[in-house]
Amino acid sequence: MPKNFILARNATLRQLQVFECIGRKQSFTKAAEELHLTQPTVSMQVKKLSEVLDVKLFEQVGRQVYLTESGSYLYESAKKILAELSNTEEQINRVKGLAGGSVKFSVISTSQYFVPRIIQGFMESYPNVSVYMQVGNRENLVQRIIENKDDFYILGQPPEGLNVESFQLAENPLAFVVNSKHPLAKKKKLTLEDVKYEPFLMREKGSGIRTHIENVFAEEDFVPNVKMVMGGNESIRLGLLQNLGISVASLPTLVEDIENGNLTVLDVEGFPIMRHWYLVYPKGKTFSIATEKLVELLKTEVKEFYKWV
């Protein structure tokens, strides 16, 4: 067998996919998480690929994984091969149109409360289209944009420095919220000084809401009494329901708890502060017909599905 055909004849696309993911993440564990595989399976795929080429592809120094020189050459090729296959799949799905194909997108955690209501109708209209929705914070989504992971994204602010198109979908007011049993719930016309010493529930680093409220607080020279840092809007919601402290949160995500009387929006001077949700995608992105339909639906119907009064 000619030597230059060994890789093509003996390596599998799955092995290249696993190898590329490890190289990108620099971690067997993180690659296993992304690919929804067990770590032994990931290790075995790389071992088989190494045996095909008869070279070592990775070296481990402490807990960090690095590409060897041979691994670096293969990594660059694997990225190109997988990108071409992804583009080809997009084109095929476009030809298949609404008779099949898929739509893949990622959203920040606050928007997961209204997006499913819209895609439910889409999925009922186009039952042969598969829809994949990932939820993460702003930092996660920006990285996914950089890596061109999805068809489109919904964020609280278009990312700066990236070549993207954006469309403003709806308003997202942020306000101070407390458990309705909290003493402050009965008070009117509060100032930041009135909430200065209250235990504050803060979102995790990488959250767009955290970045925004930190900027607002800095402008007001206000330092909250942060007692807990919680990952995700749902954790903040549960913390408020347990009366663990106060927080500045997205009101649309808490609307049911506010309406049923479990949570109260505080009347703090300068709040609510208005943010928005944006639909974002890389410029030049090729949409399948199914993706075009869902994007069009989001642009036209979000304001009908979601209204905050």
Which amino acid makes up residue 162?
L
Q: Are 230 and 202 in contact (CB under 8 A)?
A: yes
CATH number of 3-91: 1.10.10.10
CATH of 100-169+277-305, one of 3.40.190.10, 3.20.10.10, 3.40.50.150, 1.10.10.10: 3.40.190.10
- Residue 97: what pLDDT? 67
- Residue 183: what pLDDT? 95
How far is it, in rounded angstroms, from Cα 278 to Cα 185? 32
- Residue 122: what pLDDT? 87
* Topology match between the domains 3-91 and 100-169+277-305: no
Task: Walk along the chain (309 residues) in steps of 10 and give the mean pLDDT of each run.
Answer: 66 92 91 90 93 92 88 93 85 70 89 83 86 92 93 93 92 94 94 96 91 94 95 91 96 91 96 93 89 89 59
Closest among 179, 185, 158 to 262, alpha carbons compared: 179
- Residue 4: what pLDDT? 61
* All structural domains of the chain with their residue ranges: 3-91, 100-169+277-305, 171-275
Q: 171-275: CATH homologous superfamily?
A: Periplasmic binding protein-like II (3.40.190.10)
